[in-house]
Amino acid sequence: MGVAAALLFAASLALFWPGYVAYDSLAQYAQATSGRYDDWHPPIMARLWSLFGDHGPAPMLALQLAAYWLGLGSFAAALAARGRRGAAWAVLAVGCWPPLLGWQGVVLKDLQMSAALLAATGILGWWRLRNRPLPGPALAVAALLCGYAMLVRANAPFAVVPLIVMLSPWPRGIARAGVALLGIAAAIGLSSPINHGLLGAQRSGVEQTQALYDLTGIGVATGDTTVGLPAATLAAIRARHCVRPYFWDPLGEPRRCETLVAPLRAEPAGTLYVRLAGMILRHPIAYTEHRLAHLNSTERLWVPRHWLGSAPLRASEPNTLGFGEPGALAKLWQSLGAWLMETPLGWPIVWVVVAIAGLCCALRGRGDDTLACALFTSALTMEASFAVISIASDLRYHLWTLTATAIGWLLLGPRRWPRAVTLLLVAVLLVGVVARVVLPEAPQTYAGMLG
């Protein structure tokens, strides 16, 4: 299985060489090559990229794909060692699934997080699934990968910390939830000193965006000027449709609504979050409706067909750096991935239900289902975080959920689903299909989604 994974790594690298770059990729590359870092994008990734000099995305692509196939290969080899060769080959097949592999051909923080966490869990799985004690060096590598994953994606602590807690022998029972919450809070609290102190990133205002999005959403819904904006401004924001479930971007776009929310931008992030807490208590229904509208968008339940941001990139962001692009075969691969993402397999909400079913089965199953249980928990806590911490609906944010859920089920093997979860999946599929039939097609460009 290790040889097969190595061959798939080489084939993937050849297919996607030198890697696709998105707008965010170019911004991070500029920081990596200039030595000037800010926190709009994770400085840990830019610092890592800087180690390779000005050689474009190719070194990071190789690193990303190496971590991806290391994790998958480790799981596959461990399953094969237990005599489950069919499940082992299925793990490698998951890695070849065009949407997942297609996105791994793009050098982005979300894929770095997914690949790093997959490598870490694969290393842990290699030892746990064979009932072997975890050596110190393997533990150190897994810890390093988990630390990188937590720093490279804002929501990553919600995936990483519960995973670690579920794999730990202590605590047991409901106490695990409390430890996980404390761990998540600690990880989020430490991210600022690490990013701004240890990694030397300048503040860009990114910490304000969540509060700005939610405060404006509450203000538009209620007309309450205590959000920090006068009534005339709230009316203008409402008239221009600046608050959109799909993403926060119109509020940060100079051509749209940036000037309208400038008073909020001028305030410290801490002040905004304290005010947001008060506004949530004052207008819980407005806040809940605002967040549910966004959650529906990012989970892709009641949305039209071709909801933007699901397909893996088929072309790099235009740039003047002379970066090459993957060839025609890669574009065909990405086109297949785009088509598959329009099926229910490309709806994150479907994977949430599948993960719920897996967690139910793992919790009532055998004692060796711990790793699968941890993967399902990690996937679900990551998705739950989007209910309160999320400002955009790109599908790449959910790729860890898809990967962890698929591997979790392969570790479990065939199990009987709880009846209630089966009915929930049927309901989700019906709602999603009806939405894509009756709703008008969404704009197919970023500018169109801005409005």
The pLDDT of residue 334: 97
Give the chain's mean pLDDT.
Answer: 95
**Same domain for 425 and 356:** yes
Q: Is the pLDDT of residue 437 over 80?
A: yes
Give the tens place of pLDDT for each residue, 252-266: 999 899 999 999 999
Work out the average pLDDT over 13-32: 96
The pLDDT of residue 170: 85
Q: Is the pLDDT of residue 419 over 70?
A: yes
**Same domain for 243 and 197:** no
For residue 257, the enclosing domain spans 206-299
**Same domain for 152 and 268:** no
pTM: 0.94
Name the pLDDT band for 364 (thresholds 50, 70, 90). Answer: confident
Lowest-confidence segment of 19-23, 117-121, 341-345, 446-450 by average pLDDT: 446-450
CA dist., res. 299 & res. 261, Å (int): 27
Provide the domain count of the chain: 2
**Same domain for 350 and 280:** no
List b or e across 70-83, with b for residues whose CB sees 16 or more CB atoms inside 10 angstroms: bbbbbbbbbbbeee
Question: Strand locations in 280-402, DSSP E?
Answer: none
CA dist., res. 302 & res. 304, Å (int): 7
Instruction: List all residues 6 or more positions away from 371 whose beta carbon is below 8 Å from its beta carbon.
Output: 121, 124, 125, 128, 129, 167, 411
The pLDDT of residue 367: 60
Give yes or no for a contact between 255 and 446, defined as CB atoms under 8 angstroms apart.
no
**Same domain for 294 and 232:** yes
**Same domain for 222 and 133:** no
Q: Is the pLDDT of residue 339 over 80?
A: yes
Work out the average pLDDT over 60-86: 97
- Looking at 251, 281, 299, the residue that finishes a domain is 299
Does the residue 29 lie in any domain? Answer: yes
Work out the average pLDDT over 326-342: 96
**Closest of 29, 25, 42, 39 to residue 147, by C-alpha:** 42
Q: Is the pLDDT of residue 451 over 90?
A: no
Give yes or no for a contact between 373 and 409, defined as CB atoms under 8 angstroms apart.
no
Give the tens place of pLDDT for each residue, 2-14: 899 999 999 999 9
- Beta-bridged to residue 247, according to DSSP, are 392
**Same domain for 227 and 155:** no
Does the residue 379 lie in any domain? Answer: yes
**Same domain for 164 and 239:** no
**Same domain for 242 and 141:** no
Q: Which amino acid is at 161?
A: V
